[in-house]
Structure 1
């Protein structure tokens, strides 16, 4: 079969890009389509030797550095890819990739990282955090999101099969699109995650510093715990705020490559995670390195972290995104830290290995292509 793989944009190597990379490894001869490609040197290995097609957005001024500003054009842009020469199309979608146009003789399978969060249940949070809750710009933003919801709902019926990255996202797909989805958790590269049973006396928080990641909230909570050391890795729009909130017990490292991040995970007393994520790959990576996880108890973390009620717990949860809740969770962890063994953390992370992802993903692809051939 001739295979095309579609991913929204490639401007950094975050969670959804790592999943797209794994899919590309499963189909080494596949051609890649993306609206905008601006991967920095050192993060573009997966592109070498592969046919890459970008959209007209690639050549627009500012698109490579401020791609989200071009969201109004993305539904139109994704529909311009000519995929008529391909037998199998796999879209990796957290915004518009599933909206590619395919025909009745083609199989389209879409791996859904999330329905567009800012267009559906998180619309009002997005508007407030973006300063768009009032005024004429707010009206324009709300109209755009209304248009995106209509387009998103229409294109949800295009793929023959939907795959969700977690049971949490499968529920959101059922709510928004009224469709069932198979669940295949994202892969974690366990072979390159160093394990250690020895833990040091610092907590770790690492993520993009955008509002919904709640990195500033973690820093503010630890600023009220001067006897607890926190190491922070990441960069983004809220970096200035994070630096203002940091106190002497908090070390801000900024962006670091994978080797530094993994070394910190290997040594940290625990990993602190305050976002409501669709899946959240970093808590799994932290557990693979032996670090227990203190996480907000909603979203994908409930599937990846084994709470204290389990025989072999790998972390615990806080129920509110507040400084007080994080402080309480840290103190609860300290009172019972011996229950969260590094060995159990590593064993739990094995459930999300690359091999398991490959097996489950390919089983769905093969079953759908066989089914499609039988009815053609």
Structure 2
């Protein structure tokens, strides 16, 4: 089970992979029209959408919570259920009492726990009571659902500690998979690449500001998001900064394969698959010493970890230090490290673990 499929996010990719490889049915809230993963859906055994794509914030979340809580009576017919997301676990109350339930937790809802203040600050004052009410609705139900799980698996030591801190529960770490064979070193053209979604927590604004100070260095921002207009204004008049918006996967693979290095400095990232994808193409990563990136980037071997919190000048120094020659010297270490996250390793761990539990 997975919450919904709207963007090219890692949780949806993981849920699809498990459904295909375990030959399992897939239950989900909704799938956006022409979703980037649409080609994978016909190969599934069976699929059951529970709701429809509602774009109104909070209303969407309420409908998803209702759908998983009240439209999942079919769970009683399954012996094994794997949950992914924040809303799908609410369905556990409808599962078979004789079956077992596994939750793959990408992270507990951050708007409830460690980033509550940030999310409230992003809302107009008149909407804040609505979010407060929604948290009062979701938090006890989410925590009750997790208490009913037979096992909780998570994507990193970082999130394992977060689960322990806020929920007082234990979890087992199984790193999410990367399809490393899709990525390859294609060359080393004169640009650096950012693929992070354009929202405040990804700190792409700091990257853009750094390149404003380095007109001799080229940056390609290959993503979209709520901060697109703001970032374009920051880069106004800078011919060295290019925004592509979201691109097709084949073009993204080309951009990664030809970059000098990628830059990824999100705030306390859960795990961060983007650095692994970069390293799979032999490209080092300029990252930040926070969250899951401390587990995926080997400082000095597969990239550079900037001290936290990062500043514009820190990024400038790291970019100028990551020359073409230095990036190329890290190529084989990057490829070797990325191979540890191959999807086959993930699937073997999940299959072995699930078989033992069941």
Q: Please, what TM-score do these two structures have when normalized by structure 1?
A: 0.87
Which residue of 21, 26, 51 corresponds with 2:16? 21
Q: How do residues 304-343 of structure 1 correspond to structure 2 at under 5 angstroms? A: 304-308=296-300, 312-334=301-323, 337=326, 340-343=329-332
Q: CA deviation at 1:313?
A: 4.1
CA distance 1:207–1:69, shift in 2 (3 Å): farther
Counterpart contact for 2:54–2:60, Cα < 8 Å: no
The answer to whether residue 148 in structure 2 is matched with residue 121 in structure 1 is no
Q: Are 2:261 and 2:327, in contact at CA under 8 Å, matched by a contact in 1?
A: no
Residue-by-residue CA offset, 1:199-235 (whole Å, 9 max, x unaligned) = 2221100122222122222112211221211011011
Report the alpha carbon displacement of residue 21 of structure 1 after superposing the two structures with TM.
1.8
**CA displacement at 1:188 relative to structure 2:** 0.5
Structure 1 residue 146: deviation in Å? Answer: 3.4
Q: Distance in 2 between matches of 1:328 and 1:64?
A: 44
Q: Contact 2:283–2:327 at 8 Å: present in 1 too?
A: no
Structure-2 separation of matches of 1:89 and 1:213: 32
Equivalent residue number for residue 227 of structure 1: 216
Residues 41, 330 of structure 1: CA spacing in aligned structure 2 closer, same or farther, 3 A cutoff? closer
Q: Find 2:148's aligned residue among 152, 158, 177.
A: 158
Matched, 1:40 2:34: yes
Q: Counterparts of 1:334 and 1:67 in 2: how far apart (Å)?
A: 43
Cα distance, 1:334 vs structure 2: 4.3
Are 1:109 and 2:98 counterparts? no
Aligned counterpart, 1:214: 203
Partner of 1:372: none
Alignment CA distance shift 1:321-1:126 (3 Å): farther
Contact kept? 2:260, 2:283, Cα under 8 Å: yes
Structure 1 residue 36 displacement after superposition: 1.6
Please give the root-mean-square deviation of Cα atoms over the aligned residues, in Å.
Answer: 2.1
TM-score, length of structure 2 as denominator length: 0.91
1:297 to 289, 294, 311: 289
Contact 2:306 2:314 survives alignment (8 Å) = no
> Who is 1:191 aligned against?
181
CA distance in 1, matches of 2:59, 2:214: 38
Q: Aligned residue for 1:363?
A: 352
Q: 1:171 to 1:334 in 2, by over 3 A?
A: same
Q: How many residues of Structure 1 are paired with residues of Structure 2 in the alignment? A: 350
In structure 2, do the counterparts of structure 1 residues 131 and 321 end up closer, same or farther at CA, with 3 Å as the change threshold? Answer: farther
Q: Give me the whole-angstrom Cα distance separating, in 2, the residues matched to 1:283 and 1:223.
A: 23
Structure 2: distance between partners of 1:103 and 1:42? 33
Report the secondary structure of 1:274's partner residue: coil
User: For residues 271 and 49 of structure 1, what CA distance do their matches in structure 2 show?
Assistant: 33
Whether contact under 8 Å (1:272, 1:293) holds in the other structure is: yes
Q: Report the secondary structure of 1:155's partner residue.
A: helix
Matched-pair contact (CA < 8 Å) for 2:58–2:131? no
C-alpha distance after superposition, 1:157-209 (max 9, x if no partner) = 1210111011111111111221111111111111111224x422211001222
After superposing the two structures, state which structure 1 stretch, 316-325 or 204-213, moved more: 316-325
Contact (CA 8 Å) 1:38, 1:64: kept in 2 or not?
A: no
The equivalent residue for 2:76 is: 84
**Deviation (angstroms), 1:148:** 2.3
5+ residue gaps, structure 2, are none
Contact 2:106 2:154 in 1 (8 A): yes
Distance 1:336 1:195, change over 3 A: closer
Note the residue ranges of structure 1 that are not aligned, 5 or more in a row: 1-5, 370-376
| Secondary structure at 2:101 match in 1 | strand
Rounded Cα–Cα distance in structure 1 between residues aligned with 2:316 and 2:58: 34
- The separation in 2 between residues aligned to 1:287 and 1:71, in whole angstroms, is 35
Give CA deviations for 1:345-364 in whole Å, capped at 9, x if unaligned.
11110110011101111111
Distance 2:7 2:87 in 1: 17
Secondary structure at the aligned position of 1:37 is classed as: coil
Of 250, 258, 263, which aligns to 2:249? 258
CA separation of 1:89 and 1:335: change in aligned 2, threshold 3 A: closer
